[in-house]
Structure 1
Amino acid sequence: MKTLSISLIFLFITCTASANDGYKLWLQYFPFENQAVSDYYRDYLENINIVGASPTIDIIQRELEMAASGFLNSKVKPTFKHTGDSNICWIGKTDDLPKDLKSAFGQKVNEIEKEGYWLKYHLGRVIITANSDIGLLYGTFAFLRSIQSRGQLESLDELDNPKIERRILNHWDNLNRTVERGYAGFSIWNWHRLPRHIDQQYHDYARANASIGINGTSVTNVNANALILTPDYLSKVKALADVFRPYGIKVYLTARFSSPMEIGGLATADPLNPDVQQWWKEKTKEVYDYIPDFGGYLVKADSEGQPGPHNYGRTQAEGANLLADAVAPFGGIVMWRAFVYSEKTPDDRHKQAYNEFKPIDGKFRDNVIVQVKNGAIDFQPREPFHPMFGAMPETPLMMEFQITQEYLGHDTHLAFLAPMYEEVLQTDTYVNGTGSTVSKVVDGTLHNYSLTAMAGVANIGTDRNWTGHHFHQANWFAFGKFAWNPNAKSEEIAEEWLKLTFTSDKTFTEPVKAMMLSSHEMVVNYMTPLDLHHIMARSHHYGPGPWVTGGSRDDWTATYYHKATEKGVGFDRTATGSNALGQYAPEIQKQWGNLNSVPEKYLLWFHHLPWNHKLSSGNTLWDGIALHYQKGVEETRQNLDTWKEQVDHVDEERYKHVLSFLKIQSEEAVWWRDACLLYFGQFSGMPLPDGVEKPAHDLDYYLKLNPKFVPGI
């Protein structure tokens, strides 16, 4: 048995030898830092037995070749055997386990599920086994991650099954290659060149997703274009699906509800009309003729101008069931978004989705899953969990998280979103008593859902590093981790991503991990402290806009939400106000409705309070808001100092790129602080507390700022 001393495990990987533009993401496969480390891992990388033959097995072999070349800094390829014999690294399905290895697994091998794997060290060998080729691919990536992070192979014993069946990226990409709420360039899907040209990036995209367990992608915007369902475009989607299939990734398409009229020549799209039903069945069969493993439809209906069943006086269930019946013969599903609200301004938009869907719980077909955003408004920097997660026991619900940062400073602001994901998923809904967390709703264990899924709105674009900010790769990575296991831990994800992407040196990983883990709260501090919300600039949501008022809808303004006057600020959602709090379980109503027990992070979400209201710190509400803004600014400056200390641990290209973005963030945090405090200060009439810097300009200066051509709208 070979061992690697603990002192050598954490020796850092030298990353400064050449430029690194971030394209390799967390699949860097840096050369081993010294001969001792190389000697420890070499045999496991050079003597591999892979049992089986398929396009996915070919991908596994290529990945191992790529990894060995990187780790060993050599063009020498590993020696592969394709027999049932044992070797120092053995990869194969459970049915192919040699007799001398079966004893290592015993009956527990039956616990491996369809996409799961078992990664185990046994008598000097590393064994990767699964019940499917895709499981073997996931297990291979897990094995390589262990090497990347300099793990001790002798301790490997990892039986890992995904807790959520469908783990899907939602691209808000348009056919003209613009990306709604995308800040890392244009869409990577070059529809004009497809299907005749397959860009290498499509393979690299699939590889990156497979490495973190993502098994589905919806490639078009939820604000759908019916053209995607025409033969010209279906042939293009087929080309993508053919690339993705060996990586275990299914393609889904956004379906425009009015497609029967727009491309089908019908006079109506009424879901109860027999001609409409037949049109969708025929169109869906056509889709499956192109893409036999097509995953199904994602639908945004009756929201922000999108057509839907409301146009015909029908329910959301009747609309969803129309498409569910069309895909059911082929094993497809329908993901029906709950982001639904009428054309009329409500008393509180928080209540609309719940009011729409709660009465039709249990009315959906078995192959429909309702896709619910983490909060009830719209991807705010912080929101309480959506009340629907505690209200639909008869209807499968899937989580929709944002990976892109529509309301979080776009691509230049560091905001590691894993803590936000974890906060939402681990909140107790109390729907079945204590311990009924959102994560248990989403993974199906609370209500025995037969269909489970999680979606993330992608932050991927044509920037060489994929995501604009190098650290926003971590949000893509984290989403994959939480989609695989909604009980994952943010700290572990941050540390793993840093080791895979930069270095294992603790002098780097510890301070930068701390910076990442506090970054989401930092952004909340300098944007929306104490759950002020929806106070961004109009339309593009870039920069502060607490003064935004008027226009076509009140609930698209800031003043609708913060309700600031000389008397106070905040949205009263208790029984004395809109009573949106009444949509939650009694235990939550009692806690969040009481000023003595409501978490202050949700304070102004549920309460309208006077400026001199005393916080738990003893500060007045006004002083508390101001101090939070100042704290956020100071944290951005601390992050700059932290990053500057890492200059010797990071290659020059990525170091300078991140430094530039951190400077932008620090400058814009000041913009947020000064603009918001000047605006709200008009109403409070109170001076800034000690320790809060005075704004450099007057309010009129900020009112006149009007950024042009902000991307992503």
Structure 2
Amino acid sequence: MKNKVKISILILSLLPLLAWAEDGSRLWLRFSDKPQQSKEIITTHRSPTMDIAEKELASHWNGKPVELRLDKKLKRLKDGYIIQSDKDKICLSAGKDAGLLYAAYHLLRLQQTGVDTENLYIEEIPSYDVRILNHWDNLNGSIERGYAGRSLWKWEELPGKLSPRYQEYARANASVGINATVLNNVNASPQILTGEYLHKVKALADIFRPYGIKVYLSANFSSPKVLDGLPDSDPMNKEVRAWWKNKVKEIYRLIPDFGGFLVKANSEGQPGPQDYGRTHADGANMLADALKPYGGIVMWRAFVYSPTKDDRAKQACLEFMPLDGQFRDNVIIQIKNGPVDFQPREPFNPLFGSLKKTAEMVEFQITQEYLGFSNHLVFLAPLFKEVLDSDTYSDGSGSTVAKITDGTLRPAKVTAISGVVNTGDDVNWCGHHFAQSNWYTFGRLAWNHQLTSEQIADEWIKMTFTPDEAFVKPVKEMMLTSREACVDYMMPLGLHHIFSSNHHYGPGPWEEQLHIRRDWTSRYYHNADAEGLGFDRTKTGSNAVAQYFPPLDDTYGNIVTCPDNLILWFHHVPWKYKMKNGRTMWDELCYRYDAGVKQVREYQKIWDSMQPYVDEQRFQEVQAKLRLHARDAVWWKDGCLLYFQTYSNLPIPYDIERSAYSLEEIKKVRPDIRIYK
């Protein structure tokens, strides 16, 4: 009996600590739970979406009364809203129910981040019409480039059993204005379009709809042939066109607000119209014609990664520019942010702005395929902003990627932006607590691309952890510098795609002949030799610089004016070439790698000092990730410098930490299988 009393006392003593335990499952949605009287939330009408908005405010709002006012005359706001306060109440006005839900979340965000809500006038119009997540989830539950567990979608249980996480997912997206989702991998299985799976998709669409989220599907171009035995899937075959028309009709009968298709065609072995001698426009237009009566769209990916003797970075422009003006108005060309493949740093894709008569949208990668998976702390807002704010000069100075894609410079029937999401069924959703910030960041920038990285980091930290400035300031600095640190310890000065091809995680600049295709080897991209390092894309090389508008073609094409952070992307640079800071290229390369390592080690110190402000579970889990992160940064630095030194034959500066291992030992290192989920 005495022992039971002692145990009870121990449990009671631990309750405060247990109550403060966090597993990350609540994401940034840690609103106050102070209940309010229902009369303090005034609504003008009822709908499932309005019910959610009212419930969120009734459960979490602590201020003056709030009125939710639907005004269909406010069409100019699209699905945006106005928040206006007076002495008696705060009025949320919108032209659509979804706008009122977004306004409710905005108001709660202001409260959560400590903003004064007494004198408000806020008008928000989203930057993009379609703000969409791309899931690379497979029907067997695996996720391509997923590092946070298995798929959220339990296809084997649907439609009969519905996970509570489906609604939690929808709520998280709505809280940052994401209004669309592609459920399946772009390397799509035709099976997703069968009647069995469409009923499963319907079950998800029904859950997402009240949160303002439309469902889209990745379509396999060979579906007519594979599913129903048609002789081919030629877009000019009347039987094939009829098949798609009937399939789309079947989908809309089940899901009246279905958004449309995402298509990866004739890339990395995926089927497409070129299999039949047709063009991307022929294939996209066939699907667009089937969708048009229902208001659906086609997002046709420009990632045309197929074998070529030309520079891989040139492929998108070479294939799509001749087709400009041939696409239907409900087709949007979905373009990766850079010309190769989601690298830690790339110049913006030159296809942006080059299509004068065709709608374009940006595709970002939220999941960190090339940035340390869910093990490295890399805040992606600076990367996203760098691309969106890049001036293409396509329509003169100021023709940024953002203005080209948001309808400012190129009016389009529908504007869109996409992000390959990093969610999985891990308790904390993203594998790393700080990786949640990149999901949040994409939503906030898709809603308003004029937000700064600093603003987004500040919001997320205060909502996810604490508004205490003693925590916010150092952690924000850590986040804001993390992308540049990643570039430094992985691929500084414009180096790219020198990962191990087996896993895209650790270094592999030594890989030369592992595959049939040259562009599947690291050497194809870095071209190290006794003379220097880098890919010559000038007029004397692949001439990829010619795909950029003046003055960028000359800026990038001249080694003197090319920015140092892209110099090895566009030039084969001599080892002793004098950089803008006076160092030789070799020394600068060494110091950049070293700076990245030092920065990550500094993050460890910062985080350790934050222990008093963070619950123990999340503190320890982030601490463990940072230990792994620091180890990996050293792996990258040592492996790359020792390898490139075999070509430069120059000493590593004396004040840089020496490797504890030889190059041959490092080449044998394989990432611990535990990095995979």
Distance 2:263 2:675 in 1: 24
Counterparts of residues 295-310 of structure 1 (less than 5 Å): 295-310=259-274
Distance 2:673 2:295 in 1: 43
Contact in 1 for aligned 2:75/2:95 (Cα 8 Å) = no
Contact in 1 for aligned 2:251/2:258 (Cα 8 Å) = yes
User: Counterpart in 1 of 2:67?
Assistant: 90
Matched, 1:266 2:200: no
Among candidates 614, 621, 625, match of residue 657 of structure 1: 621
Q: Which amino acid aligns with 1:124?
A: D
1:465 is paired with a residue whose SS is: coil
Q: Which amino acid aligns with 2:613?
A: H
Shift of 1:712: 6.6
Shift of 1:284: 0.9
User: Counterpart in 1 of 2:458?
Assistant: 495
Matched, 1:348 2:350: no
Among candidates 345, 357, 370, match of residue 394 of structure 1: 357
4+ residue segments displaced more than 6 Å: 42-46, 710-713
Matched, 1:172 2:136: yes
User: Counterpart in 1 of 2:87?
Assistant: 123
Indicate the RMSD between aligned Cα atoms, in angstroms: 1.8
Contact in 2 for aligned 1:425/1:487 (Cα 8 Å) = no
User: Counterpart in 2 of 1:100?
Assistant: none
User: Counterpart in 1 of 2:671?
Assistant: 707
Distance 2:512 2:371 in 1: 21
1:627 is paired with a residue whose SS is: helix
Contact in 2 for aligned 1:167/1:483 (Cα 8 Å) = yes
Counterparts of residues 493-572 of structure 1 (less than 5 Å): 493-550=456-513, 551-572=515-536
Matched, 1:57 2:34: no
Contact in 2 for aligned 1:15/1:650 (Cα 8 Å) = no
1:369 is paired with a residue whose SS is: strand
Shift of 1:44: 9.5
Among candidates 606, 613, 633, match of residue 577 of structure 2: 613
Contact in 1 for aligned 2:137/2:184 (Cα 8 Å) = yes
Q: Which amino acid aligns with 1:152?
A: D
1:59 is paired with a residue whose SS is: helix
2:131 is paired with a residue whose SS is: strand
User: Counterpart in 2 of 1:644?
Assistant: 608
Among candidates 274, 278, 301, match of residue 242 of structure 2: 278
Distance 2:106 2:499 in 1: 40
Per-residue Cα deviation, 1:99-139 (whole angstroms, up to 9, x for no partner): xxxxxxxxxx8475230111111123111111111110000
Q: Which amino acid aligns with 2:217?
A: L
User: Counterpart in 1 of 2:211?
Assistant: 247
1:410 is paired with a residue whose SS is: coil
Distance 1:213 1:554 in 2: 42
Distance 1:207 1:599 in 2: 42
Structure 1: gaps of 5 or more residues: 1-13, 33-41, 73-86, 96-108
Contact in 2 for aligned 1:16/1:652 (Cα 8 Å) = no
Contact in 1 for aligned 2:74/2:94 (Cα 8 Å) = no
User: Counterpart in 2 of 1:27?
Assistant: 29
Q: Which amino acid aligns with 2:423?
A: I
Distance 2:198 2:585 in 1: 56
Among candidates 391, 395, 408, match of residue 371 of structure 2: 408
Counterparts of residues 99-498 of structure 1 (less than 5 Å): 110=74, 112-342=76-306, 344-498=307-461
Contact in 2 for aligned 1:185/1:461 (Cα 8 Å) = yes
Distance 2:524 2:141 in 1: 33
Among candidates 639, 644, 651, match of residue 680 of structure 1: 644
Q: TM-score normalised to the size of structure 2?
A: 0.95
1:524 is paired with a residue whose SS is: helix
Per-residue Cα deviation, 1:155-199 (whole angstroms, up to 9, x for no partner): 321110102000000000000010000100110100000000111
Contact in 1 for aligned 2:330/2:413 (Cα 8 Å) = no
Contact in 1 for aligned 2:37/2:58 (Cα 8 Å) = no
**What count of residue pairs does the alignment treat as equivalent?**
661
Per-residue Cα deviation, 1:312-346 (whole angstroms, up to 9, x for no partner): 1111000100100111111100000000133x333
Contact in 1 for aligned 2:511/2:522 (Cα 8 Å) = yes
Identity of aligned residues (%): 51
Distance 2:157 2:59 in 1: 28
User: Counterpart in 2 of 1:588?
Assistant: 552
2:639 is paired with a residue whose SS is: helix
2:358 is paired with a residue whose SS is: coil
Distance 1:146 1:634 in 2: 36
Distance 1:543 1:676 in 2: 10
Q: Does 385-394 or 444-453 show the bigger shift?
A: 444-453
Contact in 2 for aligned 1:403/1:476 (Cα 8 Å) = yes
Contact in 2 for aligned 1:16/1:650 (Cα 8 Å) = no
2:653 is paired with a residue whose SS is: coil
Distance 1:635 1:274 in 2: 60
Contact in 2 for aligned 1:271/1:318 (Cα 8 Å) = yes
Distance 2:39 2:141 in 1: 42
Q: Which amino acid aligns with 1:527?
A: M
Q: TM-score normalised to the size of structure 1?
A: 0.90
Structure 2: gaps of 5 or more residues: 1-15
